Amino acid sequence: MSLLDRIGLGATFAFSAADPEDDDIVLSIVDPGISGSSSKATAATSRLGDAHDTFLGGSVDPGEVTFTVAFHPGSATELALDAWYAANGQASVRTCTITLPELGDLPEFASTGDGILTSRNNTINRNELVTEELTIKRSGAWVTAEVEGASVPDESPEEGA
């Protein structure tokens, strides 16, 4: 039985394989971690009379996302992470998808975009799950959307009940 079937929150992280013919590599997220982005502000102050600085919006740094996944040392997944981490240039940019499961009335959502694996830290504790913290630097815009085919059961009372 795979780690995906045994543990986690139902949230997953997938990244494209180096070979487009291969399936994506999927890991179970056990700690969702943090993410963030920022927007640059460009000065637009006129030296001819503005008493206060003015700014215009600039480009957006999509930031990075850090989370912890279940990890199996020596697995094909570890080899795929090793290859991605060691890659440079365009080969270091992979398509990434973070999928969040249905939660109450909320449907399943996925956030997808390009990313670069910038940090890996694994933890091995006796009698516990082996985990690895991954940091992905987002590249370009990421799109978050409801997963097609996902549905939340209708929990309205049946007629006559």
- The string of pLDDT tens digits covering residues 33-88 is 778 888 888 888 777 766 788 888 888 899 999 999 988 888 888 889 999 999 98
Beta bridge partners of residue 93, listed in sequence order = 116
Please give the Cα distance from 136 to 122 (Å, whole number). Answer: 15
Residue for token pair 């694996």 = 117
| Listed residue (149, 88, 133, 113) closest to 14, CA to CA | 113
Among 11-15, 18-22, 99-103, the range of highest mean pLDDT:
11-15
98 neighbors 142 (Cβ within 8 angstroms): no
Q: How long a stretch of residues is the chain?
A: 161
Q: Give the pLDDT of residue 137.
A: 94
User: DSSP string of 120-157?
Assistant: EEEE--TTS--EEEEEEEEEEEEEEEEPTT--PPP-PP
What is the per-residue pLDDT across 115-158, written as a single tens digit (0 to 9) for each? 999 999 988 776 777 889 999 999 999 998 898 765 444 444 44
9 neighbors 22 (Cβ within 8 angstroms): no
94 neighbors 111 (Cβ within 8 angstroms): no
Q: Give the pLDDT of residue 103.
A: 80
The domains located in the chain, with CATH, are 3-38+57-146 (2.30.110)
What is the per-residue pLDDT across 83-123, written as a single tens digit (0 to 9) for each? 999 998 888 999 999 998 888 888 889 999 999 999 999 88
Q: Give the pLDDT of residue 9.
A: 66
Q: Is the pLDDT of residue 160 over 80?
A: no
Please give the Cα distance from 46 to 71 (Å, whole number). Answer: 55
